[in-house]
């Protein structure tokens, strides 16, 4: 949610910042802007909407620029104030000599703004961020030292911030500070960077210093100084990023989403490699740092997550209860944090997050830590703040996910839950040897089955064509695939803006059946051999009797289904317990192709952002 890039060094400043923002654009695209130090003067350029518009503004204004030597840039996902040019970052102080970009929300900005207006500051936007510009400028007037001014200013801020500040009287110095929002320093040679996330700097350096809360980084092209809120210098570890810039390329696919869907078989292979050596050996999950005796006695788990990660958590609940017999609660992080929970030191709390940055989940995890629970984090970003809060960390290793709609990270989370549930079951001795062999064998087969779906996607594309004109959908399922129905419907909503709802098939008759007619297609997830098949078939019949168009997603070979369903989407044979890892793929493709037919912006759907860093 929003993205920050700051640069000082020998390269073309505009190009470096623009490239960095391009690699962060999946985080927000309401507006973009840059402040550049050029000929001892701060020059600000802004545009509305996608980043490409900023490129146009910059080329139209090229006559105003000679050779900028440092700068800061931002892409915005609007929180305070509508997406408009005045509200776009960077924001400047009254005299325009100081510029700031900001991610997060300043909760006490109204009080600060009133005070600053009384002191003569002229505000030009509705944002909370502009308050920071005036506040730092005001502190600078007193302290005559930008570092001290930033330190004094952030002490007055309440809420969440990652900020990057520059002042024309302090040339080629960029200052970053953070609290409850990610920020890092990219370490180069004769150049240095400040950014809100690693994709912004990966083209130029893999060396990174992660700032912690209340730390301030003063960065020039040849120096990096990090201090705490009191000004004491801190020696921080320089870490090396684990991935390559190629991860940010579409590799010939039309969209990142399609590329990421196609990466799923190899992601599963990578995750299983090193965790399941053969079907006769236990799962190796050294990442879980709880001793075996404690694990054996464990009788309560709470899983907290948001969005797609929440759906993975729902599958996880089902698996852990089934394999290990441990009771599991699943809750949206944003609900967990506002109630009195029963979390205590004997609860294992699992946080699930693709980005590791989601504010709701971070707050929930912090609350669980305060109750002395062991916190296990399942994330795609082992470099994230959430990962650093973990007592145990399972990195899902899906690689950078650029498309705002989560796909490959979801399947990676699911596979991590299969491994965790098996691991817990093996420790507790709740699973038979035959079951363990079979399930491990079937897990290893998953990538090939998904490849089969991906190479026969034409039926899904045709289904998307037929149904792309419908305005409403219901996805029904029971048991372990209820989460699949939720996730399939969420994918469709996110990228096509169609009103799609996941619903427990058995609940249809308790209300939503009233909405059914020929305008409301019902998609049923039917896995034969399991305990839910016949019941969902009956629920589908009930929908048919109300003239709903029916789609089946099934591994059944029953030819009679063609008489009941308007479209039958076939998937390879799979046991019910593993079917969520197969069924999610055609639903991702269905959502993708419908959005494609409708001409939607698949990778960057309106109103969304990849990391939701506000509560």
Q: Could you list the residues that contact ligand M6R (CB under 6 A)?
A: 306-309, 353-355, 358, 361, 404-406, 494, 608, 611-612
Contact call for residues 521 and 471 (beta carbons, < 8 A): no
DSSP letters along 190-230, please? SEEEEESSGGGTTTT--EEEEPPTTEEEEE-SS-EEEE-TT
Nearer to ligand M6R, 109 or 210 (CB): 210
Phi and psi at residue 379, to the nearest 5°:
-145, 155
- 3-class secondary-structure state, position 2: coil
Contact call for residues 72 and 101 (beta carbons, < 8 A): yes
Nearer to ligand M6R, 396 or 419 (CB): 396
Burial of 407: CB neighbours in 10 Å, binned 0-12, 13-18, 19+? buried
- Closest approach, Cβ 547 to ligand M6R, in A, equals 32
Nearer to ligand M6R, 16 or 406 (CB): 406
Phi and psi at residue 46, to the nearest 5°:
-140, 155
Q: Would you call the peptide bond into 46 cis, given omega within 30 degrees of 0 as the criterion?
A: no
Say whether 610 is catalytic: yes
- Closest approach, Cβ 302 to ligand M6R, in A, equals 16
Rounded CA-CA distance 472/198 in Å is 38
Nearer to ligand M6R, 435 or 497 (CB): 497
Number of H helices, E strands in the chain: 19, 24
Rounded CA-CA distance 336/340 in Å is 8
Nearer to ligand M6R, 103 or 358 (CB): 358
- Closest approach, Cβ 239 to ligand M6R, in A, equals 21
Closest CA to 80 of 123, 118, 116, 115: 123
- Closest approach, Cβ 522 to ligand M6R, in A, equals 22
Which residue of the set 179, 275, 600, 610 is catalytic? Answer: 610
SS3 content of the chain, % helix, strand, coil (to 5): 40, 20, 40
Rounded CA-CA distance 101/129 in Å is 7
Chain position whose Cβ is nearest to ligand M6R: 307
Rounded CA-CA distance 47/28 in Å is 13
Rounded CA-CA distance 233/452 in Å is 56
Nearer to ligand M6R, 205 or 413 (CB): 413
Side-chain-side CA neighbours of 333 within 13 Å: the count stands at 30
- Closest approach, Cβ 334 to ligand M6R, in A, equals 10
- Closest approach, Cβ 186 to ligand M6R, in A, equals 22
Residue 138 to residues 112, 173, 217, 248, Cα–Cα distance (Å): 12, 18, 20, 40
Which residue of the set 2, 93, 121, 463 is catalytic? Answer: 2
- 3-class secondary-structure state, position 552: strand
Nearer to ligand M6R, 406 or 500 (CB): 406
- Closest approach, Cβ 500 to ligand M6R, in A, equals 13
Contact call for residues 205 and 198 (beta carbons, < 8 A): no
Give residue 345's Cα distance to chain centre: 28
Nearer to ligand M6R, 583 or 612 (CB): 612
- Closest approach, Cβ 577 to ligand M6R, in A, equals 23
Active-site annotation, residues: 2, 610
């Amino acid at each position: 949610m929003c993205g920050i890039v700051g640069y000082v060094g020998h390269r073309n400043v505009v190009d470096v910042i623009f490239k960095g923002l391009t690699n962060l654009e999946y985080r927000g695209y309401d507006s973009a802007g840059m402040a550049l130090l050029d000929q001892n003067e701060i020059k600000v350029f802004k545009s509305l909407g996608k980043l490409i518009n900023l490129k146009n503004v910059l080329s139209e204004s090229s006559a105003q620029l000679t050779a900028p030597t440092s700068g800061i840039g931002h892409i915005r996902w609007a929180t305070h104030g509508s997406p408009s040019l005045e509200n776009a970052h960077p924001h400047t102080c009254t005299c325009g000599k100081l510029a700031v970009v900001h991610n997060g929300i300043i909760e006490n900005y109204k009080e600060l703004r009133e005070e600053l207006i009384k002191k003569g500051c002229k505000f030009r936007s509705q944002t909370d961020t502009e308050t920071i510009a005036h506040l730092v400028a005001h502190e600078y007037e007193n302290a005559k030292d930008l570092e001290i001014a930033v330190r004094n200013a952030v002490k007055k801020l309440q809420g969440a911030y990652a900020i990057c500040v520059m002042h024309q009287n302090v040339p080629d110095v960029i200052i970053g500070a953070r609290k409850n929002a990610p920020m890092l320093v990219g370490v180069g040679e004769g150049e240095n960077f400040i950014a809100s996330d690693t994709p912004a700097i990966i083209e130029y350096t893999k060396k990174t210093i992660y700032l912690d809360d209340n730390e301030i980084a003063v960065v020039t092209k040849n120096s990096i100084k990090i201090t705490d809120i009191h000004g004491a210098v801190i020696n921080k570890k320089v870490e090396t990023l684990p991935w390559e810039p190629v991860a940010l390329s579409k590799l010939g696919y039309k969209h990142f989403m399609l590329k990421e869907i196609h990466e799923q078989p190899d992601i599963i292979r990578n995750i299983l490699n090193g965790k399941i050596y053969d079907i006769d050996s236990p799962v190796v999950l050294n990442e879980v740092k709880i001793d075996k005796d404690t694990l054996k006695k464990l009788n309560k788990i709470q899983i907290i997550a948001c969005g797609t990660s929440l759906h993975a958590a729902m599958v996880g609940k089902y698996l852990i209860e089934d394999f290990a017999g441990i009771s599991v609660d699943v809750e949206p992080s944003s609900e967990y944090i506002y109630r009195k929970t029963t979390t205590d030191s004997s609860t294992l709390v699992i946080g699930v997050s693709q980005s590791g940055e989601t504010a709701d989940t971070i707050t929930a995890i912090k609350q669980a830590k305060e109750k002395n629970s062991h916190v296990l984090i399942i994330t795609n970003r082992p470099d994230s703040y959430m990962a650093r809060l973990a007592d145990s960390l399972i990195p899902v290793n899906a690689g950078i996910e650029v498309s705002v709609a989560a796909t490959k990270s979801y399947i990676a989370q699911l596979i991590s839950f299969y491994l965790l549930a098996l691991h817990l079951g093996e420790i507790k001795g709740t699973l038979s040897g035959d079951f363990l062999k079979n399930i491990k064998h079937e897990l290893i087969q998953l990538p090939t089955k998904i490849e089969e779906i991906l190479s026969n996607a034409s039926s899904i594309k045709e289904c998307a064509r037929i149904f792309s004109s419908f305005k409403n959908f219901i996805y029904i399922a029971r048991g372990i695939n209820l989460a699949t129905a939720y996730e399939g419907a969420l994918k469709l909503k996110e990228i096509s803006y169609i009103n799609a709802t996941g619903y427990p098939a058995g609940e249809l008759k308790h209300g939503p059946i009233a909405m059914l007619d020929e305008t409301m297609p019902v998609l049923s997830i039917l896995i034969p051999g399991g305990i839910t098949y016949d019941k969902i078939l009956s629920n589908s019949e009930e929908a048919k009797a109300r003239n709903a168009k029916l789609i089946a997603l099934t591994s059944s070979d029953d030819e009679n289904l063609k008489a009941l369903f308007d479209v039958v989407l076939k998937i390879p044979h799979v046991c019910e317990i593993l079917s969520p890892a197969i069924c999610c793929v055609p639903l991702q493709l269905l959502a993708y192709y419908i959005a494609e037919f409708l001409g939607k912006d698949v990778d960057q759907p309106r109103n969304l952002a990849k990391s939701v860093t506000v509560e």
